[in-house]
């Protein structure tokens, strides 16, 4: 269905943490695009709230103009007056009950002023440690329900381990129903990630070979060329397993491996994703390698090691790299290794899923020493150069007989030059009440259950130089792309 502005009901969006980094870098630019010429135009009024008591509507709008100018989206280009029309501010100081009573009064005032029907979105753009207190305050002052619908958006991480995830879900559910809760993992808002479902289930060519009979291995890579930067103290208490594997990579795994849902609908899709998580075998610790970047070079420039980053403890045992092999014990995937790798200070920023197909059953070229047959592969690139590459073998012209790997290539920017940002997609979905791209409570808890044993018994991380692809000890887990077939 083509999305139009009339497919979204008019509502108020309240951003708790409206002066923070997430609002400045991601939410404000997305909201401006969506509300000025996109599907939320004339559909939403935005109320930012934060601790800054010195801010009022006017000073907050000036802050927002500066933030938008920095993002390359001039706030009031062509005299649009976007900030004046759409943005408001309410201080919540110490975030006690009285502050939230004031927030509720301001919400009701804006709804009367703009003739809104009482539909509300509460976006938690706060540090993870503030989620629970904020949600409980909203519930205490009666903002868990309103005259219209009410939805609450929560950013990852969803807990710190299994027990904290259970506690987080339990306490949120005291004030909001599961159908009101939107747990955001921004990776799921990427068009290429969403297209995994269409790519598989709308193309018999690929779905018919998407199984253990034809696939030899699957590799998921989330590589970052940056270090921890100013987040050293935070990251030192988190690590790569919590920061990326438990959420981003696990979501990519479930979308790659899931069965076809009974319909293209939120719970039907999420039901299939949870089946994948329940089918994952316990991860063998011998099939996991942890690493930590040491000093090295990125782009020809020297960079410090993790232990030398600001805020990182000298005796830190935190990992910045994880590689593991996982197996899904079901009919489709039995025996197929899923290799997941993620790390900081790797050579480039790159997220991709590689489907390595099995070798041909009969090597008819074995008498030709120059004709090396390599396994076909499908490479799905999620960032930065979104698209697909299907790699296959062709005969080189001339003698002697030689085979060469070529590829069919598709890039999103060639066909769709104006791909929306992930946050634009997700904000519209929240406004429409579509939970397809959001994580359900049982998904969160099941993923933590998988990784809890690894968190409890993590060995010391192996060092790797910044600018390399991780510790050498991880190489034994990998299945090289284009692997030569035995003859």
Helix (H, G, I), strand (E, B) or coil at 296: strand
The torsion angle over the Cα atoms of residues 176, 182, 183 and 188, rounded to 10 degrees, is 170
CB atoms within 10 A of CB 157: 19
User: Catalytic site residue 186?
Assistant: no
Helix, strand, coil percent values for the chain (each to nearest 5): 40, 25, 40
Q: CA angle 21-24-28, nearest 5°?
A: 140
Q: How far apart are CA 167 and CA 128, in angstroms?
A: 13
Task: Provide the token pair at 321.
Answer: 């790299």
Kindly give, in sequence order, each residue whose CB lies less than 8 Å from that of residue 463, ignoring residues fewer than 6 positions away: 291, 292, 293, 294, 305, 471
Using the Cα atoms of residue 51, residue 52, residue 55 and residue 60 in order, give the sign of their dihedral: negative
CB atoms within 10 A of CB 207: 13
Cβ-based burial of 5 (10 A; exposed 0-12, middle 13-18, buried ≥19): middle
Of 11, 175, 186, 248, catalytic: 248
Cα distances from 243 to residues 26, 320, 344, 364, in angstroms, run 19, 9, 11, 47
Radius of gyration of the CA atoms of the chain, in A: 24
Q: Could you give the residue numbers annotated as active site?
A: 248
């Amino acid at each position: 269905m083509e999305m139009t502005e009339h497919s979204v009901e008019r509502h108020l969006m309240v951003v708790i943490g409206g002066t923070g980094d997430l609002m400045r870098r991601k939410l404000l630019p997305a909201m401006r695009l969506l509300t000025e010429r996109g599907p939320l135009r004339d559909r939403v009024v935005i109320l930012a709230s934060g601790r800054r008591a010195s801010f009022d509507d006017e000073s907050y709008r000036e802050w927002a103009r500066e933030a938008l100018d920095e993002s390359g989206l001039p706030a009031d280009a062509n005299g649009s007056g976007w900030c004046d029309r759409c943005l408001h501010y309410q201080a919540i100081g110490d975030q006690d009950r009285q502050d939230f009573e004031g927030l509720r009064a301001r919400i009701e005032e804006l709804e009367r002023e703009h003739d809104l029907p009482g539909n509300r979105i509460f976006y938690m753009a706060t540090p993870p440690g503030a989620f629970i207190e904020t949600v409980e305050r909203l519930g205490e002052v009666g903002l868990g329900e309103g005259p219209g619908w009410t939805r609450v958006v929560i950013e990852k991480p969803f807990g710190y381990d299994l027990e904290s995830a259970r506690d987080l879900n339990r306490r949120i559910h005291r004030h909001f129903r599961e159908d009101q809760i939107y747990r955001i993992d921004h990776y799921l808002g990427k068009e290429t990630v969403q297209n995994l479902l269409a790519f598989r289930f709308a193309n018999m060519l690929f779905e018919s070979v998407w199984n253990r009979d034809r696939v030899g291995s699957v590799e998921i890579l989330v590589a970052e060329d940056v270090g921890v930067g100013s987040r050293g103290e935070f990251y030192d208490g988190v690590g790569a397993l919590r920061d990326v594997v438990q959420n981003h990579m696990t979501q990519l795994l479930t979308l790659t491996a899931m069965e076809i849902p009974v319909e293209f609908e939120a719970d039907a899709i999420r039901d299939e994703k949870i089946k994948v998580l329940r089918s994952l075998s316990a991860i063998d610790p011998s099939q996991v390698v942890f690493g930590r970047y040491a000093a090295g070079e990125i782009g020809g420039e020297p960079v410090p090691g993790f232990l030398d980053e600001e805020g990182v403890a000298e005796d830190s045992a935190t990992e910045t790299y994880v590689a593991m092999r996982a197996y899904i014990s079901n009919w489709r995937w039995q025996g197929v290794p899923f290799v997941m790798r993620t790390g900081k200070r790797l050579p480039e920023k790159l997220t991709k899923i590689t489907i390595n197909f099995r070798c041909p059953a009969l090597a008819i070229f074995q008498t030709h020493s120059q004709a090396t047959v390599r396994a076909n592969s499908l490479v799905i690139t999620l960032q930065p150069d979104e698209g697909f590459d299907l790699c296959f073998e062709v005969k080189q012209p001339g003698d002697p007989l030689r085979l060469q790997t070529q590829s069919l290539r598709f890039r999103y920017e060639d066909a769709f030059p104006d791909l929306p940002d992930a946050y634009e997609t997700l904000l519209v979905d929240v406004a429409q009440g579509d939970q397809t791209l959001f994580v359900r409570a049982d998904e969160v808890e099941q993923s933590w259950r998988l990784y809890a044993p690894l968190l409890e018994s993590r060995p010391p991380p192996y060092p790797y130089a910044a600018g390399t692809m991780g510790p050498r000890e991880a190489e034994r887990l990998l299945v090289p792309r284009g692997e030569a077939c035995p003859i």
